[in-house]
């Protein structure tokens, strides 16, 4: 499949390959004029490569990994955040935006960390990604790690005050609520559910749904912190999918789950009757959970590879289901791309179609100006000193590629 063969990320050419070939106006990002202005190699613009500094600044994991955790079209630009491996108190990673001329901007409000969350809060007209709140004109506000430390994996619609509040969920499992106007922060729970690698979060059918895709090999969570669940009852119990209705927590399944979303995607659920989906796995297969009409249903799909299997969940960062334009959705899970029908419900469960397999980290993807954009967690210096610096880039193309 072409979409895989074109993944040639040559970040070392960042400086040497950015001279203009022709000097036309770049009216459309990635369009003909923009493409002619910058060198493009198999869907990759080397000048858009991003780095983090390394050297242990702010945290021990700083610069050891340099993934692009979330990408979102907003306010006329493509916004993205990078992450280091384990930096809840901040790092040298940045908030970036790419403008219509394919110019890469680093925002001075950057505080780094390990973010991969994104939500467009329609009531306040803001993009929330990482700890950043970005208005419709591109003005950035930030909650500093000193106020709200965490590795942000999901932002979700609030159950009782959706106009003014959101939930923030972090990789250690903590759950916060934030006022989108004042940025006031309140921690709700330190560790409400078992598992040690928090992932997706989404609100649907009057429930907050959160996922966790990891487990420590020895159970070491303080039982007093847990609102539901406990030690694994067998070797297959790792991670969790759980719900909270504002008063009661429930475990849906004690397995490893990653993304949680629905037909509203990055905008949140369109109404209280809309379904929700979550993707996970066990030793047998990929698992798709469906919440429809207040009940959970389970579907299984074959794995493309076992490469992503791990008790800690470290190798599934970050499978997603996301809209990619023309009312179509794409699912990436366990090394397989799928066409995913936006209409998937209990009564309409057909149409999930595999496109092809891969062996990469693809933390996020989106449609931007008619193109499919894939982010990466590319070259790292984890057990690999040769690159010198961790680095990642974007791929621009079409689904048919």
What are the residues facing 106 on neighbouring strands? 96
Long-range CB contact pairs, 107-113, < 8 A, 24+: 107/132, 107/140, 109/140, 109/141, 109/142, 110/142, 111/142, 111/144, 111/145, 112/52, 112/58, 112/62, 112/83, 112/84, 112/87, 113/83, 113/84, 113/87, 113/88, 113/89, 113/145, 113/150, 113/151, 113/152
Question: What digits encode the pLDDT tens for the residues 136-182?
Answer: 999 999 999 999 999 999 999 999 999 999 999 999 999 999 999 99
Question: What digits encode the pLDDT tens for the residues 372-387?
Answer: 999 998 887 777 778 7
Non-local (6+) Cβ contacts of 162 within 8 A are 123, 203, 268
Residue 336's alpha-carbon distances to 238, 287, 304, in angstroms, are 22, 13, 6
Average pLDDT over residues 299-314: 92
pLDDT at 17 over 80: no
Give the residue with greater pLDDT, 130 vs 386.
Answer: 130
Task: Sketch the domain layout of the chain as residue ranges.
Answer: 192-359
Question: What digits encode the pLDDT tens for the residues 208-247?
Answer: 999 999 999 999 999 999 999 999 999 999 999 999 999 9
Question: What digits encode the pLDDT tens for the residues 71-87?
Answer: 999 999 999 999 988 88
pLDDT of residue 152: 97
Average pLDDT over residues 120-127: 98
Average pLDDT over residues 186-191: 98
pLDDT of residue 58: 57
* Single pTM value for the model: 0.90
Peptide bond into 379 cis (omega under 30): no
**100, 165, 116: which is closest to 320 by C-alpha?**
116
- Rounded Cα distance between 141 and 151, Å, is 18
Burial class (CB in 10 A: 0-12, 13-18, 19+), 380: buried
pLDDT of residue 85: 84
Burial class (CB in 10 A: 0-12, 13-18, 19+), 19: exposed
- Rounded Cα distance between 164 and 373, Å, is 31
pLDDT of residue 99: 96
| Token duo for residue 147 | 């106020």
Given pLDDT bands bounded at 50, 70 and 90, which one contains residue 298? very high
pLDDT of residue 335: 92
């Amino acid at each position: 499949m072409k979409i895989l063969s074109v993944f040639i990320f040559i970040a070392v050419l960042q400086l040497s390959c950015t001279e203009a070939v022709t000097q036309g106006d770049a009216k459309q990002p990635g369009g003909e004029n923009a493409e002619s202005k910058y060198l493009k190699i198999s869907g990759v613009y080397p000048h858009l490569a991003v780095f983090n500094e390394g050297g242990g600044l702010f945290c021990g994991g700083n610069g050891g990994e340099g993934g692009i955790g979330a990408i979102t079209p907003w306010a006329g630009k493509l916004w993205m955040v990078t992450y280091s491996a384990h930096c809840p108190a901040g790092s040298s990673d940045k908030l970036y935006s790419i403008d219509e001329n394919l110019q890469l901007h680093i925002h001075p409000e950057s505080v780094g960390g390990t973010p991969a969350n994104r939500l467009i809060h329609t009531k306040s007209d803001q993009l929330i990604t990482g700890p950043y709140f970005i208005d419709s004109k591109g003005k950035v506000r930030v909650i500093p790690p000193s106020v709200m430390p965490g590795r942000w994996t999901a932002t979700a619609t609030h159950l009782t005050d959706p106009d003014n509040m959101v939930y923030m969920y972090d990789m250690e499992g903590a759950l916060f609520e934030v006022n989108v106007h004042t940025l006031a922060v309140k921690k709700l729970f330190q560790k409400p559910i078992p598992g040690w690698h928090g992932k997706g979060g989404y609100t649907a059918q009057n429930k907050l749904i959160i996922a966790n895709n990891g487990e420590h090999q020895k159970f070491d969570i303080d039982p007093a912190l847990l609102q539901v669940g406990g030690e694994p009852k067998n070797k297959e119990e790792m991670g969790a999918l759980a719900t909270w209705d504002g008063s009661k927590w429930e475990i849906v399944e004690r397995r490893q789950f990653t993304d949680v979303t629905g037909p509203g995607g990055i905008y949140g659920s369109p109404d209280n009757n809309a379904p929700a989906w979550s993707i996970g796995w066990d030793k047998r297969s990929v698992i798709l959970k469906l919440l429809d009409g207040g009940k959970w249903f389970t579907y299984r799909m074959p794995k493309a590879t076992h490469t992503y299997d791990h008790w800690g969940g470290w190798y599934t960062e970050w499978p997603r289901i996301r809209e990619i334009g023309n009312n179509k959705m794409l699912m990436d899970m366990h090394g397989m791309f799928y066409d995913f029908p936006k209409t998937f419900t209990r009564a309409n469960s057909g149409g999930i179609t595999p496109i092809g397999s891969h062996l990469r980290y693809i933390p996020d993807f989106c449609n931007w100006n008619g193109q499919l954009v894939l982010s990466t967690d590319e070259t790292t210096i984890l057990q690999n000193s040769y690159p010198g610096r961790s680095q990642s880039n974007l791929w621009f193309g079409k689904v048919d590629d």
